[in-house]
Amino acid sequence: MSDLAALVVQQSLNGVYLGCLYVMVALGLTLIYGVLNQINFAHADFVTVGAFTAFFTATRLATKVLGLPDAAGYLLSIFAAFGIGALLGLAVNAAVFAPLRERGDELRPLIATIGVSVLLENAQLALFGPIPYQFDSPFARETIRVGRIFFSAQSVLVVAVSAVAIGALYAFLRFTFLGKALRAVAQDRETAGLMGINPGLLIGLTIVIASALAGMAGALLGPVLVLSPFAGASVIVKAFAIVIIGGFGNLQGTIIAGIFVGIIEAFTVQYLGSGLIDLVVFVLLLAMLVIRPTGLIAERKEENV
């Protein structure tokens, strides 16, 4: 393999790894928009809660209480973050979003997401303090080499977990009764209600799934981010950009856009330096808004989820 070919393969793999991280964050955003036609401004803080859950599960519960090896502890932390994310979504929906939706005002739940974001940020600041935590994954220390190509076991784990999560979400939406009912609510909430479907239940389920995915994303991002109460804010803007590039509310478009942005970032670091990553991504976003404002896959409510 030539030097150029090896470089292209190496950076492409790095890009897929980055893209999977972004996709995990963006999936919850696009799922909520596809069903509720609403943006969740608290999504970044759900990611942060997942990261802190994974950190304390891996470094305290798994190793010091259960006596598990570091690798097993980190794997357990991913499931713990997924579960805590789901419980947090269930609690926030029951306490805040559902009562506001019942009043028939779609603006109030949107504003409430900002309030939930501020509440979660300050709660985490009070609990964990402003000093960042260092979250090391044992898989990041293991390097796999295939010829002239090398990558960490952490990147393999991220890609594998992302693929399983995406596949499970797709199978749920396409092949289960609840998934089909959720798609019906996304297409026409009133008609779905007339057909015997409970829109409130399905909307709550959507928020729970999106929150669980955000928690899992936090567990995967924890070793990459500077772990603080505001850690999720560092990736959420880019996740919004990916959702827009892919086509607001379209899961397939979000996945394609996330991988594409990850690969663009990897080659940007190689040839232009890490300082221009955000500039390149948002130039791409502006170009997409000018050339194709509907995103890579145009929004069609019946196909969004």
Distance set, CA 275 to CA 17, 110, 269, 280 (Å): 19, 33, 8, 10
Confidence class of residue 37 from pLDDT cuts 50, 70 and 90? Answer: confident
Judged against a pLDDT cut of 90, whether residue 186 lies above it is answered with: no
What would the pLDDT profile of 62-101 be if each residue is shown by its tens digit? 988 888 999 999 999 999 999 999 999 999 999 888 888 7
> Residue 138: which of 23, 54, 250 has the closest Cα?
54
Q: Find out whether 22 and 284 touch, Cβ atoms under 8 Å.
A: no
Output the six-digit token pair for 143.
């390097």
Judged against a pLDDT cut of 50, whether residue 6 lies above it is answered with: yes
pLDDT for 195 equals 83
pLDDT for 302 equals 46
Distance CA 64, CA 12 (A): 38
Judged against a pLDDT cut of 70, whether residue 53 lies above it is answered with: yes
Average pLDDT, integer, range 113-123: 92
Alpha helices, H only, the chain: 3-36, 43-56, 70-92, 98-101, 107-128, 153-175, 177-187, 189-194, 199-221, 233-246, 251-271, 277-291
Judged against a pLDDT cut of 80, whether residue 305 lies above it is answered with: no
Confidence class of residue 205 from pLDDT cuts 50, 70 and 90? Answer: very high
pTM: 0.92
> Residue 40: which of 253, 222, 207, 216 has the closest Cα?
207
Looking up tokens 């859950």, which residue turns up?
53
Alpha helices, H only, 37-69: 43-56
pLDDT for 2 equals 74
**Start-to-end C-alpha separation, the chain:** 41
Distance CA 33, CA 20 (A): 20
pLDDT for 196 equals 84
pLDDT for 234 equals 81
Confidence class of residue 272 from pLDDT cuts 50, 70 and 90? Answer: confident
CA 168-213-104 angle, 5° bins: 105
Looking up tokens 């919850």, which residue turns up?
28
Looking up tokens 């950076």, which residue turns up?
11
Beta strand pairing status for 143-146 and 149-152?
antiparallel
Distance CA 36, CA 31 (A): 8
Distance CA 266, CA 129 (A): 33
* CB atoms closer than 10 angstroms to residue 255: 22
Average pLDDT, integer, range 148-153: 87
Judged against a pLDDT cut of 90, whether residue 263 lies above it is answered with: yes
Distance CA 80, CA 222 (A): 13
Q: For residues 177 and 297, which has the higher predicted lDDT (pLDDT)?
A: 177
Judged against a pLDDT cut of 80, whether residue 198 lies above it is answered with: yes
- C-alpha 89 chain-centroid distance: 14
Average pLDDT, integer, range 118-136: 92
Burial class (CB in 10 A: 0-12, 13-18, 19+), 266: buried
The SS3 assignment for 145 reads: strand
Judged against a pLDDT cut of 60, whether residue 30 lies above it is answered with: yes
Give 143's strand partners: 152
Q: What is the mean pLDDT of the chain?
A: 88
Alpha-carbon dihedral sign for residues 7, 13, 17, 19: positive
